């Protein structure tokens, strides 16, 4: 019984040690030679808050590398801020992460590909990814310099757009550069022409044509091979209109129009409230206006909504059930007012 208790206590204390303390891995601190003091050359971060513990390095007597005594000094207590982190400390405490380098502000360890400190980085070229994690306020890369997003007005790249979207507050969705490179847009994939429209998988959508190339906002699918697609101007289309192309052309028009859906016969775009296609319309009821817009107003064109709004018909429906309720309510209200 006693033995079991001791074993359980041992297991629990082992668990506590593994949960509450975590010695760092090896890091090289410039100037540490065999027998020198890691604490004097490696540098420790300042951890602000209540109930925090000081960070320290294990002194090295024989080794030329140093280790942080306990990496939980970064998280113990109620931490309100960390400053003065350096690459050595991050390297020692990265654990299984790739957060090997201190960010530019020295407030967090990040997964950069090289030091965020230009002096240490030396001639290693900056990448957009490193700009983003090292200096989130200048997350884009122009030439060889990390830049703030609001300083860029031309030559946008997908990488810079993604960097700026990921660091904006709230996080943005304009991850791709438009075809002119003048802005970042909410396309579903790159606007780069060589990477779009060549197969069924990378087909253009009308929404992407509108976002990437506003002057050619409609999509047209190639006849041969049928898997190709391209963005075209609205005035090149005279049949086969789709809701998506109508919507794109309505949005690209100046001023914008309300002709957002395709007529039932695909001959034009019209200002119906919901699609002229029953499947796309879903449970939205037909109205006289939508039936007329979708089907035209020629005799027997089914330009009127049926009484229950489930379909269009050739003759005007007589007073509808909902109309009767409306009249009844009016009568009750007027009776109450009198
Ligand atoms: C420390 O430096 C040695 C010798 O340059 C190198 O082999 C080792 O990988 C370095 N360790 C770390 C953690 O950077
Ligand atoms: C960058 O590294 C140099 C050389 O180690 C150091 O003197 C300087 O303080 C570092 N700068 C920052 C901002 O940490
Ligand atoms: C971004 O594009 C997607 C797909 O086209 C769309 O569903 C979404 O509403 C757009 N978001 C904004 C904010 O425009
Ligand atoms: C539009 O009119 C055609 C021809 O009468 C008809 O076949 C079609 O069902 C009508 N559309 C709707 C949504 O009722």
Query: DSSP letters of 157-199?
Result: -HHHHHHHHHHSSS-----EE-TTSSSEE--SS---GGGSSSS
- The sign of the CA dihedral 202, 208, 210, 214 is negative
Lowest mean pLDDT of 20-34, 217-231, 233-247, 271-285, name the range. Answer: 20-34
**Which of 153-167, 251-265, 316-330 has the lowest average pLDDT?**
316-330
Rounded to 5°, the CA angle 47-50-52 comes to 45
Pocket test for ligand 4, best of 312, 315, 317 (most atoms within 8 A of CB): 312
pLDDT at 15: 40
Instruction: Give the whole-number percent of the chain exceeding pLDDT 70.
Output: 85
Q: How confident is the model at residue 328, as a pLDDT?
A: 55
* Pair of tokens at residue 177: 């550069």
pLDDT greater than 90 at residue 33: no
Choosing from 173, 178, 243 the residue with most ligand 3 atoms within 8 A of its CB, the one to mutate for a pocket test is 173
pLDDT > 90? residue 40: no
| Residue 284: predicted pLDDT | 97
pLDDT of residue 336: 57
| Ligand showing the shortest atom-to-Cα distance for residue 84 | 2
Residue 216, pLDDT above cutoff 60: yes
Domain spans in the chain, listed from the N-terminal domain onward: 1-120, 125-186, 198-271, 279-316
Location of structure tokens 């507050």: 169
- Contact criterion met (CB below 8 Å) for 309 and 327: no
As a whole number of angstroms, the distance between CA 180 and CA 324 comes to 57
Which protein residue's CA is at the shortest distance from atom 4 of ligand 1?
A: 28
- Count of beta carbons in the 10 Å neighbourhood of residue 78: 9
| Top-confidence residue, 63 or 13 | 63
Contact 49, 77 (CB under 8 A): yes
Tokens standing for residue 263:
């007529």
Nearest CA to ligand 4 atom 9: 312
Confidence at residue 4, expressed as pLDDT on a 0 to 100 scale: 54
Average pLDDT, the chain: 89
pLDDT at residue 253 greater than cutoff 90: yes
- Read off the pLDDT band of 8 (50, 70, 90): very low
Is 50 exceeded by the pLDDT of residue 12?
A: no
Given this model, what pLDDT does residue 330 score?
52
User: Rounded mean pLDDT of 325-338?
Assistant: 55
Q: Whose CA is nearest to atom 10 of ligand 3?
A: 186
Write the CA distances from 79 to 19, 72, 96, 107, 190, integer angstroms: 18, 11, 22, 12, 41
302 CA distance to ligand 4 middle (Å): 6
Query: For ligand 3, what atom is nearest to the CA of residue 205?
Result: 5
pLDDT tier at 11, thresholds 50, 70, 90: very low
Query: Does 92 sit in the ligand 1 pocket, CB within 6 Å?
Result: no
DSSP 308: T
Question: 228 CB less than 6 Å from ligand 2?
Answer: no
pLDDT at 26: 83
Separation of alpha carbons 157 and 147, rounded Å: 13
pLDDT (0 to 100) of residue 187? 98
pLDDT score at 261? 98
């Amino acid at each position: 019984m006693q033995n079991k208790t001791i074993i359980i206590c041992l297991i629990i204390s082992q668990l506590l040690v593994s949960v509450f303390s975590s010695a760092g891995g090896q890091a090289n601190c410039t100037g540490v030679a065999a027998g020198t003091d890691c604490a004097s050359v490696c540098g420790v971060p300042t951890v602000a808050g209540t109930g925090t513990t000081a960070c320290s390095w294990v002194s090295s007597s024989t080794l030329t590398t140093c280790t942080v005594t306990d990496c939980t000094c970064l998280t113990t207590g109620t931490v309100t801020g960390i400053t003065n982190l350096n690459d050595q400390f991050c390297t020692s405490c990265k654990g299984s992460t790739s957060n090997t380098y201190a960010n530019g502000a020295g407030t967090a360890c990040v997964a950069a590909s090289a030091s965020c400190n230009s002096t240490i980085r030396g001639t290693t070229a900056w990448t957009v990814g490193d700009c983003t994690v090292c200096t989130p306020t200048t997350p884009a890369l122009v030439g060889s310099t990390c830049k703030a997003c609001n300083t860029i007005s031309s030559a946008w790249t997908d990488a810079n757009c993604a960097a700026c979207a990921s660091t904006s507050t709230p996080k943005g969705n304009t991850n791709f550069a438009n075809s002119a490179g003048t802005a970042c847009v909410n396309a579903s994939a790159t606007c780069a022409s060589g990477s779009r429209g060549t197969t069924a998988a990378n087909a253009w959508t009308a929404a992407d044509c509108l976002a990437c190339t506003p002057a050619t906002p409609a999509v047209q699918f190639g006849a041969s091979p049928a898997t190709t697609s391209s963005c075209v101007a609205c005035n090149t289309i005279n049949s086969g209109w789709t809701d998506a192309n109508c919507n794109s052309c309505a949005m690209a028009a100046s001023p914008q129009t309300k002709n957002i859906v395709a007529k039932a016969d695909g001959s034009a775009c019209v200002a119906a409230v919901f699609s002229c296609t029953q499947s796309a319309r879903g449970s939205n009821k037909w109205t006289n206006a939508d039936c007329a817009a979708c089907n035209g107003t020629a005799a027997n064109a089914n330009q009127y909504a049926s009484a229950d709004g489930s379909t269009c018909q050739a003759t005007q429906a007589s007073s509808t059930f909902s109309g009767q309720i409306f009249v009844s309510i009016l009568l009750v209200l007027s009776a109450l007012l009198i």
